[in-house]
Amino acid sequence: MSTTADDTTGTSPATAGATGTASVARTVTDALQPRNVLLAGMLGIGLAAAGGHWTGLLWGFLGALCAGLIPAGYIEWERGRGTWGDRHVVDRTKRAPIFFVILGSIGAGSVVMVLGNAPAGILVAMLALWVMTVGLLAVNTVWKISVDSAVASAAVSLLAVVHSPWWTAAYALTAAVCWSRVALGYHTVAQTLAGAGLGAATTVAYVFA
């Protein structure tokens, strides 16, 4: 009888454990990818910025569209063309176009918000995300900082500012994102922590708002 392999699958316990961990990490990173986090987060920020009025959801959706959904659509378009293998774009040197699309999209959305007299809170959040993206782009030229961790952290920190400090409890989700990125081999611990730190720094925008 083998002591190193599962009797029914022939897979070693160590290999099975690694596969199971990777599966969980994949589920976490897909469920909490930037477009999903931004959709939920910006809707919440928009609602708070509008004092609970339903129109805040429309502004929040515009923010999510420009900051998350349009960039995600661009990535899928490039994948279809064969430019990148998957949405993670593991090659740091190929990421610059994504950042420029995000900057342009957020910038355009911010202009619409200004012209439409959107609540100040959602506009500040958009500008904070724009500045964060500039930071990500700058760092990415020399080091592969984690975008997923930055977005997950920014959404939580911004919600904590516009809603309640209790939202900081949601940093458990940010930690899960950081763990998943490391477990999948996309980033080091330092790269995820740097991303999370940059995301948290978006709240500084509200000091000057």
Q: In terms of pTM, does the model score above 0.85?
A: yes
Task: Copy the structure tokens of residue 7.
Answer: 């009797």
**CA angle 72-161-105, nearest 5°?**
25
pLDDT of residue 87: 78
DSSP per-residue codes, 12-30: -HHHHHHHHHHHHHHHHHH
Q: In terms of Cα–Cα distance, which of 113, 107, 118, 129 is closest to 41?
A: 129
User: pLDDT (tens digit, 0 to 9) for every residue of the chain, 209 residues total?
Assistant: 333 334 433 444 445 556 889 999 999 999 999 999 999 999 999 999 999 999 999 999 999 999 999 999 999 998 888 887 777 788 888 899 999 999 999 999 999 999 999 999 999 999 999 999 999 999 999 999 999 999 999 999 999 999 989 999 999 999 999 999 999 999 999 999 999 999 999 999 887 77
Distance in angstroms (rounded) separating the CA atoms of residues 199 and 178:
12
pLDDT of residue 17: 55
113: helix, coil or strand? Answer: helix
Distance in angstroms (rounded) separating the CA atoms of residues 165 and 158:
10
CA atoms in the 13 A half-sphere facing the CB of 84: 20
